[in-house]
Structure 1
Amino acid sequence: MAFRLYEENDHVAAYLQYRVTPCELIQTIMEFMAPMVRSKFNLAVDVGCGNGKGTILLAPFFNQVVGTDISPAQLKVAQSNNLCQNVSYRQCPAEDLPFESGQVDLITAMTAAHWFDHPRFLKEADRILKPNGCLALLSNTMDMELEYGDTTTALNNICEEFYAALVPFKNPYLGTSSSKIYLEMFDSCSYPEKYWNGCQKIHRNVTVNHFIGLVETFTSYQKLKHQDAAEAKRLSDDVRKKLLGAMQVSSPDTELTMVVKYFYMLARKP
């Protein structure tokens, strides 16, 4: 099963503005690849690249980087923000990639692979990877934590209320956590050299408004918004008010620390 999401212009813009780019994990991926060669790698393909914020992070390590996505709206944003001469984009499904067999050094999918047809995607990834080529699939849970002085516990209780209100609108395909989908892909990957990390925390300094905006990019929030825009706004406003009250500040532009929990699999083709 494959899904088409994040294609409406306002959702695309919000995704670009608020979603976290896992810069720290790029170095982890490159360290996993390092035994292959000492010089610059030739070709990386970032599947489900969306707005390209993750794709361009690969540019320093490869002669050529290609981001692929099925969404024209996402690719339009990626192309308009691309300043790297060795990065380009192509529209195609994740299960049918326009590359010759054995051509690619690295395939990545950053917070996208859970929407793919997994058996078909893994088969296609195996086809285009070179011997010793690497596959890196990563994503994050949707239960970010907040830290602000001695109010951390109170803030996270409010966050849990926010997330719980969105559970009825969550795509049932994802279940309780998309990490289970990635772990299933990890288990089904036949490569003998592979690695799984179930939780790596990444810290970002953001404003209260930024945190709210990030949650509003969730597909569950977007579904609520489409069904009842007034209720979605009421929920966001209520959470914002509670957070500011717990922090004892008045401005939603006040900064706090947001903790995002990533998980990932790395695998090397024999």
Structure 2
Amino acid sequence: MAAPDLVFADAALAKTYQTYRPQPPPSIVARILRFWNKGKDSREVTQESPTQKPGSLLVDVGCGSGQSTHMFVNDFDQVVGVDVSPDQLMVARQNYSHIQNIRFIEGNALHLPFPPASVDVVTVCAAVHWFMPFTPRLLLILVLLLILVLLLLQVDQVLRPGGVLAVYSYLSAYPLYQGKCLRHVMDELWKALEFWPPEHRQLATEYALMPAPYQEEEHVSSSDGELEVSSVCRLSDLLGYISSWSALAKLRTKRGPDAAQQYLDDAKAKLLKEMGCMEEDPEIVKRHRYFLRMWRKPQL
């Protein structure tokens, strides 16, 4: 794998990411567990304890600050988060080190430090699109396929027969103010940033170009509305979420903190204008819709 562009490998940004990025809804965990259990021998599954098989292991690749990783601790004997960013891992350990069956390790997605056929489930939340380097557009598809094939070969090596690969992500926040949807404003703000990497476009297609590693597959689209999370927050929280965008981090790096702050000030002004609100920090509802793709490794 090419040297990763560590846009989130910054202590301050890692904390912002932890504070303002959404946590996946429990429905994603339930979907993954249901798919995993379908592939297990019926004798291994009881009504009282459908999961937590002794020795079961889930590995979360590109775990970041652990917001998705920790959601599986009640369902697997061991949960391990893997990431290339020491700063993200530091935040993850600070938040979840009190949980006995979870740990976080620094590692590369193409060199997972686990024995062959030792992992039950591999998850990747909002990270698959980062597993490829920045490239000219004409080469993007070829490089995407090459990097993802290498990743999938590594996943295949560590997965047990019947194991599951689950990749999922959220789309941009869709805020509501007194019932009024502000999605179009968020879309305008997104388009106004020029530093979105080409990898990020894979989110809009829900990873449609990702090669299918196995025949048995399940896809839950964001348009289904099943995997949605919403929270009541303040406009300042929405701006905090925007401040965690990778493209804004690039703007801050390339043009300085003043340029990034100006963008945030303009974003706040546009949102308040659309709300028709005179309040400085009004209450809003922030919604994220997720999509999920899963594949099962064949049994021997």
Distance 2:178 2:204 in 1: 30
1:48-86 per-position Cα deviation (integer Å, ceiling 9, x unaligned): 111112111110001111111111111111111112100
Q: Show the counterpart of 2:220.
A: 197
Shift in CA distance, 34/235, structure 1 to aligned 2, threshold 3 Å: same
Distance 2:148 2:270 in 1: 40
Q: How does 1:31-70 map to 2 (within 5 A)?
A: 31-35=34-38, 36=40, 37-38=44-45, 39=49, 40-41=52-53, 42-70=56-84
Q: Show the counterpart of 1:183.
A: 208
Does the 8 A contact of 1:4 with 1:70 survive in 2? no
1:29-50 per-position Cα deviation (integer Å, ceiling 9, x unaligned): 1121122242413111011111
Alignment RMSD: 1.9
Q: Tell me which amino acid in the other structure corresponds to 2:252.
A: K
Identity of aligned residues (%): 31
Q: Show the counterpart of 1:132.
A: 162
Does the 8 A contact of 2:206 with 2:291 survive in 1? no
Identify the match of residue 18 of structure 1 among 11, 17, 20.
20
Distance 2:278 2:237 in 1: 15
Q: Show the counterpart of 1:105.
A: 120
Distance 2:69 2:22 in 1: 13
- Give the total of aligned pairs: 263
Q: CA deviation at 1:99?
A: 0.7
Does the 8 A contact of 2:228 with 2:287 survive in 1? yes
What is the TM-score of this pair, normalised by structure 2? 0.81
Distance 2:280 2:64 in 1: 28
Q: Tell me which amino acid in the other structure corresponds to 1:93.
A: N
Q: Tell me which amino acid in the other structure corresponds to 2:175.
A: L
Q: CA deviation at 1:204?
A: 2.4
Shift in CA distance, 252/113, structure 1 to aligned 2, threshold 3 Å: farther
- Structure 2 residues without counterparts, runs of 5 or longer: 132-146
Question: Which has the larger displacement, 13-22 or 74-83?
Answer: 74-83
Q: Show the counterpart of 1:27.
A: 30
Q: CA deviation at 1:216?
A: 1.4
Q: CA deviation at 1:181?
A: 7.0
Distance 2:163 2:200 in 1: 29
Q: Tell me which amino acid in the other structure corresponds to 1:191.
A: Y
1:7-38 per-position Cα deviation (integer Å, ceiling 9, x unaligned): 01111111011111103311221121122242
Is the partner of 1:159 in helix, strand or coil? Answer: helix
Question: Which has the larger displacement, 202-211 or 7-16?
Answer: 202-211
Q: Show the counterpart of 1:268.
A: 296
What is the TM-score of this pair, normalised by structure 1? 0.90
Distance 2:176 2:86 in 1: 37
Q: Tell me which amino acid in the other structure corresponds to 1:171.
A: P
Q: Tell me which amino acid in the other structure corresponds to 2:68.
A: G
In the alignment, structure 1 residue 169 sits paired with structure 2 residue 195: yes
Does the 8 A contact of 2:80 with 2:104 survive in 1? yes
1:92-145 per-position Cα deviation (integer Å, ceiling 9, x unaligned): 101111111111111001111211231111111111111111110011223x21
Does the 8 A contact of 2:61 with 2:109 survive in 1? yes
Does the 8 A contact of 2:25 with 2:229 survive in 1? no
Q: How does 1:210-225 map to 2 (within 5 A)?
A: 210-225=237-252
Question: Which has the larger displacement, 230-239 or 58-67?
Answer: 230-239
Question: Which has the larger displacement, 23-32 or 86-95?
Answer: 23-32
Distance 2:162 2:12 in 1: 40
Q: CA deviation at 1:159?
A: 2.0
Shift in CA distance, 98/20, structure 1 to aligned 2, threshold 3 Å: same
Distance 1:57 1:181 in 2: 22
Does the 8 A contact of 1:195 with 1:265 survive in 2? yes
